[in-house]
């Protein structure tokens, strides 16, 4: 049972690390075309497919779930939508490896601290000492990866991509907001259990609420860009089969990472927080950097920049281990 959960968590990380790579292969489309199709698949089609089998009971969940939990799912999901835009623009500007490293590092750091602050559970003990050591290590890893990115961009005569780094920071912060919203929406899952759904199906209903709300700012933003850039015709242009396939693949991989992790946690029992989440994060980080290398993002870059990037990624993996270890102290 636990081995199956670990396998699902591993595959979740693989999907998460792979999902941005197809963006670099859909060269006939502009960013807004790719992101529009990706959001439709990832935030509307895939969650809908997972929830459709339980549609006969969705009204019971809405009726019995606390209204503040439903509101949190929609409100925080909508806010996360702006973070998704930031992430997409950061990948477009900085590349797969740098963007994923910065965003995973920042979102993990904020995601570890924010729930403690909101719960008023900050205190000085060994467990939180190790946790904060992990958070500081995350920030150090983000700093090193950022330095590597600036060396890479400056080493070939390119101008610094300040907007890409700002987008990555915004995406990292908003990812933590998404986690907070999910925690506040968990009573919706309890209402699903009371309505006769499995925990997996009930949790998927939360994803449907949050992702549907998050799709709104993304789709509006993409439509505005398509009108402004006169790029909407590219979606139906000849030879659009490959961009369509790449964008759909992005959506399947990203939503697959979420649902695979959702399937992993019930099988991991009490080791879920200490094994599943850090395993998924670490695998996603390493796969994203591998894909960045295969896509040629570090071709012709100075050895100093490459060494700094490797050090930054290793630091982020160490931070993941420290945060995971903190969950086992005193348990």
Predicted local confidence at residue 156, as pLDDT: 47
Of residues 200, 170, 208, the one with CA closest to residue 77: 208
- Nearest Cα neighbor of 200 from 274, 267, 283 is 267
User: What was the pLDDT predicted at 274?
Assistant: 56
Q: What is the pLDDT of residue 275?
A: 65
Local confidence pLDDT in tens for the 331 residues of the chain: 677 888 888 899 999 999 999 988 887 899 999 999 999 999 999 988 877 776 666 777 787 889 999 999 999 999 999 999 999 999 998 989 999 999 888 887 877 777 677 666 677 778 788 888 888 998 899 999 988 888 887 744 445 478 889 999 999 888 878 877 887 888 888 888 887 777 777 778 888 899 999 999 999 999 999 999 999 999 988 888 999 999 999 999 999 998 888 777 767 665 555 566 777 888 888 999 999 988 888 888 889 999 999 999 999 999 888 877 776 776 5
Task: Tell me how far the alpha carbon of residue 148 is from its chain's centroid.
Answer: 22
Q: Does residue 141 contact residue 312 with C-beta atoms inside 8 Å?
A: yes
What pLDDT is attached to residue 234? 93
Residues 284, 289, 290, 296: is their CA dihedral positive or negative? positive
pLDDT of residue 1: 60
Measure the CA–CA gap between 82 and 62, rounded to whole angstroms.
25
pLDDT score of 88 = 94
Q: What is the pLDDT of residue 54?
A: 63
Please state, in angstroms and rounded to a whole number, the distance separating the CA atoms of residues 265 and 207. Answer: 15
CA dihedral 64→68→73→75, nearest 10 degrees, is 140
What number of other Cβ atoms are within 10 A of residue 155's Cβ? Answer: 13
pLDDT at 56: 67
Where b means 16+ CB within 10 Å and e means fewer, 241-268 reads eebbebbbbbbbbbbbbbbbbbbbbebb
pLDDT at 157: 43
Task: Give me the pLDDT at residue 43, please.
Answer: 94
- Position 57 scores a pLDDT of 67
Q: Are 262 and 50 in contact (CB under 8 A)?
A: no
The predicted pLDDT at position 270 comes to 58
Q: What is the rounded CA–CA span in Å between residue 172 and residue 150?
A: 18
Backbone angles phi, psi at 112, to 5 degrees: -80, -35
């Amino acid at each position: 049972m636990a081995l199956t959960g670990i396998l699902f968590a591993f595959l979740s990380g693989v999907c998460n690390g792979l999902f941005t790579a197809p963006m670099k292969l859909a060269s006939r489309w502009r960013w807004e075309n790719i992101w529009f199709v990706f959001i439709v698949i990832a935030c509307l089609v895939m969650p809908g497919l997972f929830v459709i089998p339980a549609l006969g009971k969705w009204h019971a969940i809405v009726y019995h779930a606390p209204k503040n939990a439903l509101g949190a799912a929609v409100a925080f999901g909508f806010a996360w939508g702006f973070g998704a835009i930031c992430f997409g623009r950061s990948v477009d500007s900085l590349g797969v490896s740098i963007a994923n490293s910065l965003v995973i590092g920042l979102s993990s750091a904020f995601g570890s601290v924010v729930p403690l602050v909101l719960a008023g559970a900050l205190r000085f003990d060994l467990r939180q000492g190790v946790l904060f050591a992990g958070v500081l290590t995350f920030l150090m890893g983000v700093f090193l990866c950022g330095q590597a990115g600036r060396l890479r961009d400056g080493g070939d005569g390119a101008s610094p991509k300040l907007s890409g780094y700002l987008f990555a920071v915004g995406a990292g912060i908003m990812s933590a907001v998404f986690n907070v919203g999910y925690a506040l929406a968990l009573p919706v899952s309890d209402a699903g259990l009371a309505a006769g759904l499995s925990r997996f199906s009930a949790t998927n209903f939360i994803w449907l609420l949050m992702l549907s709300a998050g799709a709104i700012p993304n789709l509006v933003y993409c439509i505005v860009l398509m009108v402004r850039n006169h790029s909407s015709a590219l979606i139906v242009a000849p030879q659009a089969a490959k961009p369509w396939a790449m964008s759909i693949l992005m959506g399947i991989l990203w939503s697959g990472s979420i649902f695979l992790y959702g399937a992993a946690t019930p099988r991991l029992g009490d080791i879920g927080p200490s094994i599943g989440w850090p395993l998924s994060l670490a695998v996603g980080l390493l796969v994203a950097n591998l894909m960045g290398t295969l896509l040629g993002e570090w071709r012709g870059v100075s050895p100093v920049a490459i060494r700094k990037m490797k050090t930054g990624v290793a630091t982020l993996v160490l931070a993941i281990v420290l945060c995971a270890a903190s969950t086992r102290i005193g348990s």
